């Protein structure tokens, strides 16, 4: 009871529909909400924002980057000086491709699988442990 | 009175207990260090009393925590005072517990046989910090949530940290389980532990004093000189907490915790030194260093009684350790504060967060719905409208502070639908803030400036005609009951304007569905231009005869407005249309 295991129905892909491919301009990053059902301890919520992802369109494909900072889990915003991303908590900077540029983040932004189905961008939404150099999935 | 006293005394032995306290021997005369220890215990009692009062209006869940604290702070009579005293008494306890431990270290108060009392005093410092940290999470506001998020992240990155984390908050994430755990820790477990350590310290002090008194046979009693110091210091601490609570009108309450926001997380002031210290630790040292620094300080203090000369009244090692740690904590706190004060980006983010906090506070005065404060904020037309505009419109349009004027790909909407906006459009359609840099650049001719080619057959509108057309178009945007710009001239000229629109503009535009190009053109319908219905239709799908017609979908004209009906539910389209029109007219929805 005191230390329950993380039961979050892990395993398998969780493809979540986000926005239409048309809605993205080539190479211009856009943060979109990831909306799905959430189960946490005794609460189940339908269709809530689980988090957000940064989407960058490259032609007909899309690169999806988790907006959760790999350092300590704050939400990564776009860098104020234009290209790339910045975390508002401890000033980690990332390039437009999500590569670590500056600051304390131990790894690049986490890339998520993305695909386009019927003109809609779908993202395989996952969370990873923060503060460690390699990607370790939670749940 | 004395009969009641006798009756109680016979049964409970109160007088003896009282005399036992007042006549108890002192170890080496009265001291302020001892008064500090008593004051820490007194503040713990104040915290238990105010905490019990706060529990009568607190409900720990994600949907109710913020709302109930808001109720305590702003609506319940004197709730702010109780909350403020609890908040500042808690922080005072941390400061005084640290001061007490420092004084004991300096005066050799931890030497044999008082080690346990000294360690208990150090433990109280750690517990007081944990009480402050868990307490700050309970309002479930942005400040408390994001500071805990980062701290738990640091903990999770330590070896074995995940196990501690699951024990501490019951789950890997800051969700409902974590909030309930914080409450249990803050209201029951940590206070009990603290109280136990206060008892250990007191027992240790008294045992030492008794032993000394037996050896020297004469010794001063607790009453009156030590009692007066205890009372003076405890009363001062309470007065300071009351004064701070009064000055701050309670304690701060940030906007409701929003796990999806990009809030600039910072710890509370007493942890700012660790926030700054983190900046000076790199690579593998960063997170363990930040987490272990406070533990290392406590361990260093715990060892002070074994370092240096045993007999001396003053421990030089203690002085060095106190000065070194105070300089570390002090300088790091100052540097951390300076770093943020000089960071324009952070200050801008803070201002944004403060605006959201005051909006949430105001909205909640009307009550918070059962699905919680985030749902309350999401349903607020002003905030929701701004969020929708930012997400769907501000990538191309500018309106007020939203959108980047250097990156516009669509007309600026400030004043859209007004006479002056229409006049500017008639005069210079391809200006940067209108069709310049949009897919429609070069499509609309000026109504009063002759074109470069074919200038001779061009018949410019006169100034009066321009005014009349602008006035008529502006009248199309009006909704019943909306205030009209006092400078507007439309009342006298709209019929003239309507005639001109039908005669001249329908070469390209539609008016009431009629135009010269057989419905194939690009220019939009002008009937109802800027009205709610027109705006709503344009947002839902620009390629209908109500606004811009099928030409808007032409793939050659890339960058035209998207059809938001595919992405947004009907209620959001209504709201976005209402919000955009209101803000174009310079009024707010609320």
pLDDT tens digits, B557-568: 766 788 899 888
Among the partner residues A28, A49, A130, nearest to B153 by beta-carbon distance: A130
B259/chain A closest Cα distance in angstroms? 8
- How many CA atoms, within 13 angstroms, populate the side-chain half-sphere of residue B164? 12
d(CA B45, CA B99): 19
Helical (H) or strand (E) element with B175: none
d(CA B431, CA B168): 61
d(CA B305, CA B312): 11
CB contact (8 A) between residue A41 and residue B260:
no
Among the partner residues A2, A73, A138, nearest to B167 by beta-carbon distance: A2
Among the partner residues A28, A89, A104, nearest to B265 by beta-carbon distance: A89
How many C-beta neighbours within 10 Å does residue B491 have?
9
CB contact (8 A) between residue A132 and residue B157:
yes
Among B279, B271, B291, which residue's Cα sits nearest to residue A91?
B279
Structure-block tokens of residue B581: 């029109």
d(CA B20, CA B9): 14
What is the pLDDT, as a whole number, of residue B391?
84
Strands A85-86 and A120-124: unpaired
What is the pLDDT, as a whole number, of residue B492?
65
Q: Domain B2-258 belongs to what architecture?
A: Up-down Bundle (1.20)
Residue A131 to residues A125, B151, B476, Cα–Cα distance (Å): 19, 11, 58
Q: Is A128 left (phi over 0), alpha (psi -120 to 50) or beta?
A: beta
Chain A partners within 8 Å of B566 (Cβ): 20
- Residue A139: pLDDT band (50, 70, 90) is low
For chain B, which residues score pLDDT lower than 70?
1, 171-172, 311, 490-492, 518-520, 558-559, 590
Name the residue ranges covered by the structural domains of chain B: 2-258, 392-584
CB contact (8 A) between residue B261 and residue A77:
no
| Contacting residues for B48 by C-beta, under 8 A, at least 6 apart | B191
CB contact (8 A) between residue B153 and residue A23:
no
Judged by a CB distance cut-off of 8 A, whether residue A25 touches chain B is yes
Structure-block tokens of residue B527: 């009937």
Among B238, B253, B271, which residue's Cα sits nearest to residue B50?
B238
Q: List residues of B whose CB lies inside 8 A of any A CB.
A: 62, 146, 149-150, 153-154, 156-157, 163, 166-167, 170-173, 175-177, 180, 259-266, 278-279, 282, 286-287, 345-346, 349, 395, 562, 566-567
Q: Is the pLDDT of residue A13 over 80?
A: no
Q: Is the pLDDT of residue A1 over 80?
A: no
Structure-block tokens of residue B502: 């039908």
Among the partner residues B149, B176, B261, nearest to A41 by beta-carbon distance: B176
**CATH number for the domain formed by residue range(s) A15-124:** 2.102.10.10
What is the pLDDT, as a whole number, of residue A10?
44
ipTM comes to 0.85
- Residue A9: pLDDT band (50, 70, 90) is very low
């Amino acid at each position: 009871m005191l230390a329950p295991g993380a039961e979050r129905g892990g395993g398998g892909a969780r493809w979540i529909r986000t926005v239409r491919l048309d809605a993205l301009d080539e190479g211009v990053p856009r943060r979109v909400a990831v909306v799905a059902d959430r189960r946490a301890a005794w609460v189940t919520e339908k269709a809530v924002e689980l988090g957000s992802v940064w989407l960058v369109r490259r032609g007909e494909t899309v690169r999806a980057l988790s907006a959760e900072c790999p350092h300590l889990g704050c939400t990564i915003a776009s860098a104020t000086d234009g290209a790339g991303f910045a975390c508002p908590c401890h000033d980690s900077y990332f390039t437009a491709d999500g590569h670590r540029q500056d600051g304390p983040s131990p790894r690049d932004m986490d890339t998520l699988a993305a695909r386009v189905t019927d003109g809609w961008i779908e993202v395989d939404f996952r969370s990873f442990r923060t503060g460690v150099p390699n990607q370790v999935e939670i749940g | 009175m004395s009969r009641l006293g006798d009756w109680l005394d016979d049964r409970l032995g109160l007088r003896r207990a009282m005399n036992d306290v007042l006549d108890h021997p002192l170890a080496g005369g009265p001291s302020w260090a001892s008064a500090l220890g008593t004051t820490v215990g007194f503040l713990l009692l104040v915290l238990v009393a105010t905490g019990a009062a706060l529990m009568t209006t607190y409900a720990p869940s994600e949907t109710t925590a913020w709302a109930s604290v808001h109720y305590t702070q702003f609506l319940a009579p004197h709730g702010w005072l109780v909350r403020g005293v609890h908040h500042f008494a808690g922080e005072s306890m941390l400061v005084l517990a640290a001061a007490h431990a420092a004084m004991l270290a300096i005066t050799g108060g931890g030497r044999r046989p008082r080690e346990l009392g000294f360690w208990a005093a150090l433990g109280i410092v750690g517990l007081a910090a944990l009480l402050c940290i868990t307490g700050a999470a309970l309002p479930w506001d942005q400040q408390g949530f994001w500071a805990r998020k980062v701290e738990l992240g640091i903990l999770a990155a330590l070896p074995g940290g995940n196990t501690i984390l699951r024990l501490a908050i019951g789950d890997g994430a800051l969700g409902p389980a974590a909030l309930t755990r914080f409450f249990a820790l803050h209201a029951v477990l940590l206070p009990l532990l603290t109280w136990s350590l206060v008892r250990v310290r007191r027992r240790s002090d008294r045992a030492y004093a008794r032993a000394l008194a037996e050896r020297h046979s004469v010794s001063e009693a607790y009453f009156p000189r030590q009692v007066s110091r205890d009372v003076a210091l405890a009363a001062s601490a309470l007065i300071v907490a009351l004064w701070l609570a009064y000055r701050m009108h309670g304690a701060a309450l940030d906007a409701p915790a929003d796990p999806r926001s990009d809030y600039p997380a910072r710890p509370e002031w007493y942890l700012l030194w660790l926030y700054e210290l983190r900046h000076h630790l790199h690579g593998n040292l960063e997170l363990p260093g930040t987490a272990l620094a406070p533990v290392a300080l406590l361990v260093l203090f715990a060892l002070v009684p074994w370092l240096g000369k045993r007999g001396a009244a003053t421990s030089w090692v203690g002085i060095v350790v106190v000065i070194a740690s105070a300089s570390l904590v002090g300088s790091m706190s100052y540097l951390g504060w300076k770093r943020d004060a000089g960071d324009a980006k952070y200050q801008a983010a803070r201002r944004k967060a403060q605006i959201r906090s005051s909006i949430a506070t105001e909205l909640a005065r009307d009550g918070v719905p059962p699905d919680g404060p985030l749902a309350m904020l999401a349903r607020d037309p002003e905030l929701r409208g701004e969020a929708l505009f930012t997400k769907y419109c501000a990538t191309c349009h500018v309106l007020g502070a939203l959108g980047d004027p250097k990156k516009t790909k669509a007309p600026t909407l400030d004043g859209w639908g007004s006479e002056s906006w229409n006049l500017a459009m008639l005069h210079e359609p391809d200006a940067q803030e209108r069709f310049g840099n949009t897919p429609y650049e070069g499509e609309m001719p000026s109504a009063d400036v002759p074109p470069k080619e074919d200038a001779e057959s061009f018949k410019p509108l006169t100034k009066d005609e321009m005014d009349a057309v602008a006035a008529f178009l502006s009248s199309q945007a009006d909704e019943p009951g909306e205030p009209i710009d006092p400078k507007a001239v439309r009342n006298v000229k709209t019929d003239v304007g309507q005639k001109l629109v039908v005669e001249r503009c329908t070469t390209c535009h539609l008016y009431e569905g009629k135009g010269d190009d057989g419905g194939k053109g690009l220019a939009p319908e002008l009937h109802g231009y800027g009205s709610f219905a027109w705006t709503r239709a344009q947002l839902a799908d620009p390629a209908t005869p109500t606004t811009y017609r099928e030409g808007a979908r032409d793939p050659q004209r890339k960058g035209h407005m998207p059809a938001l009906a595919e992405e947004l539910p009907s209620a959001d389209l209504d709201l976005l249309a209402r919000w955009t029109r209101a803000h174009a007219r310079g009024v707010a929805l609320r």
